[in-house]
Structure 1
Amino acid sequence: MSQLRMGVIGLGWFGEIHAETIMGIPNIKLEALCTRTPDRLAEQGRKFGVTKLHADYHDLLADPDIDAVSICTMWDQHTAPAIAALEAGKHVFLEKPIASTVEDAARIVAAAKASKGILFIGHVVRFNPRYRMAKQAIDEGRIGRIVALSSRRNIPAAWTPTILEKIGPIVGDAIHDTDIMLWLTGDRIVSAYAQTVDVRGLKHPDIGQTMFRFAGGATATLETVWCMPEKTPFDIDERMSIIGTEGIIHIQDTFPNLAIVDGDKLHSPDTTYWPMFDGVRGGALRDEFVYFAGKALAGEQPDIGRPEDAAAALEACLAAEESARAGTVIRIG
C-alpha cells in the first residue's frame, strides 16, 4: 500500500484544517468525511470533492476502503470514536488532548495496545522545528541537567469566547507546553499547583498560571492567557526557556516573525503550525501528517505522539485545574 486512505471524523474549524492539510500530502487520500451536521457535511464534501459522507462514524469505520481516520471531535467526545476506530483496525490520528479524563485516556491507551492499527496523538508542537532543535541540543548534553523551565502561550480574546464554553486554557493550551516539557526532560511530573483568573464570566476562566515539580527536582511555570486585547497584532505569543546546569535554551515563535501592515492594522499571522499556501496547509501540522502516514504505511508504532505521553500530559494538566479549584498543591502518582 503506497497511499493511506483517510477519513476525518469531526468537521469543526480544526477538522477542516486537518482536511486542508491532508489534501496537500501525496501519500494520503482524503476518502471520507463525518459530522452530525447535514449542512456542514454537504458543504465540506463539495469543498474537498469527497463523496463518502457520513453522519455516523460507525458507518465510516465499516468501510473497508478506509485505512485511517483523523478524529477532531471535541476532547470530551474522543473516547468512543477512538476506541471504535482502533477496534475496527484503523490507524488513528487523534487530536490532543487524548481525552477529558485520566480514566478515558487509559481506556484509549489499552485499546491501542490491542489494535492492529497505530494510534498517534496530535501534539503538534513536537513538530515545530524550534522545539525539535531544542530537544536535539538537550539530548546532545549541551545544557547539562535541566533545572527549570518556563513557557508562555497566549492568544487574543477574539479567538476564545466559544472555546472557553468547552475547555479551559490549562488543558486547552498549556497541555502543549506540558507535553513538550515532559519530552525535553524525559522526566515525570509529581505535583501541580495552579491559579486561574476569570475575566469575562464564561464557563471556564480566561487565564491559567501553572507550576509543576518534576521527579528529578526541576520546576516549571506555564502562563496561558486567552484574553489578549483585541488589537494585539499577533495570533500567538509563544515562548519557552529551558535552564540547565551548563546552558540555556530560549524558544520564541511569536511576533514579529512576519509582519503585514494593511489598512486595518499590523498583522503577524501563524507561519509555523498550519499556514495556508495555494489552498492547502503547510507547517508543523503537515509534518505531523507526513510522519503519521509514514508510520501507518510501514505498520510501525510512533516514537513521537505516543498515547502514553499524551496521557501523562493530560493527567498533569487535569491536576493543575484541580489545584486551581482547591487552592492547594495536587500530588501526582
Structure 2
Amino acid sequence: MDQLRIGVIGIGRFGRLHLRVFNQIAGCEVTAIADVSDKLLNQVKQDFGIEKTYKDALRLIKDPAIDVIDIVSDEDTHGPLAIEAIKHGKHVFIEKPIATKYEEAKEIEQLAKEHNVQVMVGNISRFSQPYASMKRALASGALGTAGMIRAKRNFSKEWFDHFGHRVHPVYESGIHDLDLILWYADSPCQEVYASERNMSGYDHPDLFSAVLTFENGLIASLDSSWLYPKGGPHNLVETLELAGTIDADMEIIGDKGTANYKLAHPGYSIWTEQGVQHPELTLWTTEHDGIGGAIRAELQHFVLQVHKGEESPVAPLHDSVEALRIADAIVLSAKEKRPIQL
C-alpha cells in the first residue's frame, strides 16, 4: 500500500484542518469527503480538488476505494461511525473522544482486534512537546514517584453556544486531561468523585470538578469550565479559523520534583488596538512549510503506524477506552452526588 486513500467525515473547521495537514504528509491522499452540508461539500471540493463527496457518511465508509476513515464529526457520531468503518475493514482515526458511550468504546477496541485494523484517537496533547516532556521527566525518574496531578482547562464562554446543547464538557474538554492523567499515572483508576454546575442554562453543565484515585495511590484533580470571558487575552489566533482562549494548566507533583505547564502564558505577546494576544505555538502552528505543531505530528504518526501495520505506542487505543470509562463515571458521580468505584 504505497498511498493511503483517506476519506474524511465532517469538514467543519477542524475537519478542514485535518485536510490541510494530510495534504502535507507523504504516503497519504484525501480522496473523499462527507458532510451533511451541501454548501461545505461544494466549497471544500473546490478548495481542495476532491472529486468524491458524500452527504451520507455510510456511503463513504462503504467505498472500496477508501483505505482510511478520518472521523471529525460531532461527538455522538464517533462511536457508531467508527464501528461501521472497522466492520468494513477500514483503518480509522477518530477525533477525541473515541465515543460518548463506554459500550461503544469497548466495541471499537474489540472490533479493531478482530479485523486487524489500526485505530487511533486524536489525543493531541500527547503530541504536544511540553506535555511529552513531562512524560519523559516522569519516565526518567527526575520527578521520583508521582503522588499528585492537578489539571485545569478553561475555554471561552462564547464557544459553549456550540457545545452546551450538544455534549457534556467532560467528553469535549475534560477528555484531554483525563487522557494525560492516565498517561502520567500509568495505573488503573479506582474511584471517581465529581461535582458539576450549570450557570449558563444549556442542556449540559458549563463547569465540573473531579477527584480521581488510582491503584498506585496517585491522586488527581481535574477542573474544567467554559466561562472564560470574551475580553480576556486570546491565544487561539492563527490557523484554526477560530478566535478565543484555551486556559490549561497541568502539574505533576513527585517525591523528588515537580513539573508544571501552562498552555496560556505571556511568553509571546501581540498588542494591538483591538486587545492583547498570547499566540499558542504548540498545537497547530502555521509554519514555513504549512501547518506544524502537535496536529501534524499526530496525523503523521498515525499514517506511519498504518503503513507499518502496528498500533501506536504513543496513543494506544485502550487508553482512550479507559479515559471514556472515567468520563462516564464523572458524569454519573456528579448526577448521583456520590463516589463511583471502578
User: Do the two structures share a fold, i.e. TM-score over 0.5?
Assistant: yes
Output the CA distance in 2 between the equivalents of 1:22 and 1:243.
37
Alpha-carbon separation, structure 2, partners of 1:61 and 1:278:
34
Aligned to 2:304: 294
CA-based RMSD? 1.6
3-state DSSP of counterpart to 2:203: coil
SS at match of 1:155: strand
- The answer to whether residue 242 in structure 2 is matched with residue 232 in structure 1 is no
User: CA offset at residue 37 of structure 1?
Assistant: 1.9
Instruction: Report what 1:171 is aligned to.
Output: 171
The residue number in structure 1 matching 2:283 is 273
Say whether the 8 Å CA contact 1:86–1:116 is kept in structure 2: no
TM-score by length of 1: 0.95
**Aligned with 1:250 (options 247, 260, 266):** 260
Shift of 1:270: 2.7
Cα distance, 1:77 vs structure 2: 0.9
Confirm whether residue 24 of structure 1 aligns to residue 2 of structure 2: no
Q: Secondary structure at the match of 2:147?
A: strand
State the 1:313 CA deviation: 0.5
Structure 2: give runs of 5+ residues left out of the alignment: 235-244
One-letter amino acid matched to 1:139: A
- Residue 311 of structure 2 aligns to a residue whose secondary structure is coil
Partners in 2 of 1:276 and 1:26 — Cα distance? 18
Equivalent pairs counted in the alignment come to 332
Give the C-alpha shift of residue 277 in structure 1: 4.3
CA positional deviation for 1:225: 1.4
Task: Give the SS at the match of 1:171.
Answer: helix
Letter matched to residue 85 of structure 1? A
**In 1, are the aligned partners of 2:189 and 2:214 still within 8 Å (CA)?**
yes
Distance 1:258 1:115 in 2: 47
Given residue 259 of structure 2, which amino acid in structure 1 is its aligned partner? I
2:334 is matched with which residue?
A: 324
Deviation of residue 138 (structure 1)?
Answer: 0.8
SS in 2 for 1:137: helix
Contact 1:210 1:222 in 2 (8 A): yes
Any idea what SS the aligned residue of 1:237 has?
Answer: strand
Q: In the superposition, relative to structure 1, how do residues 278 and 144 fare at CA in structure 2: closer, same or farther (>3 Å)?
A: closer
**Counterpart in the other structure of 1:208:** 208
CA distance in 2, matches of 1:278, 1:130: 21
Q: Residue deviations 1:205-249, cap 9 Å, x none?
A: 111111111111111111111111111103211111101111111
| 1:223 match | 223
Distance 1:279 1:203 in 2: 42
**Partner residue of 2:137?**
137
The residue correspondences of 1:1-333 to structure 2 (distance < 5 A) are 1-234=1-234, 235-277=245-287, 280-332=290-342
Secondary structure of the corresponding residue to residue 317 of structure 1: helix
In structure 1, what is the Cα distance between the partners aligned to 2:274 and 2:55? 40
How far did 1:36 drift?
2.1
Which moved further from structure 2: 223-232 or 23-32? 23-32
Distance 2:337 2:62 in 1: 47
Q: Distance in 2 between matches of 1:276 and 1:161?
A: 27
Distance 1:68 1:96 in 2: 17
Q: Percent identity?
A: 31
Instruction: Confirm or deny: 8 A CA contact 1:153 1:237 kept in the other structure.
Output: yes
Q: Mean Cα displacement is larger for which, 159-168 or 279-288?
A: 279-288
**C-alpha distance in 2, partners of 1:251/1:277?**
23
Q: Give the conservation status (yes or no) of the 8 Å contact 1:23–1:280.
A: no
Normalised TM-score (structure 2): 0.93
- Cα 1:51–1:277 change in 2 (3 A) is farther
Cα distance in 2 between the residues matched to 1:99 and 1:292: 19
Cα drift, residue 304 of structure 1:
2.3
Instruction: Indicate if the aligned counterparts of 1:258 and 1:271 stay in contact, CA closer than 8 A.
Output: no
The one-letter amino acid of 1:93's match is F
Shift of the alpha carbon at 1:279? Answer: 9.3
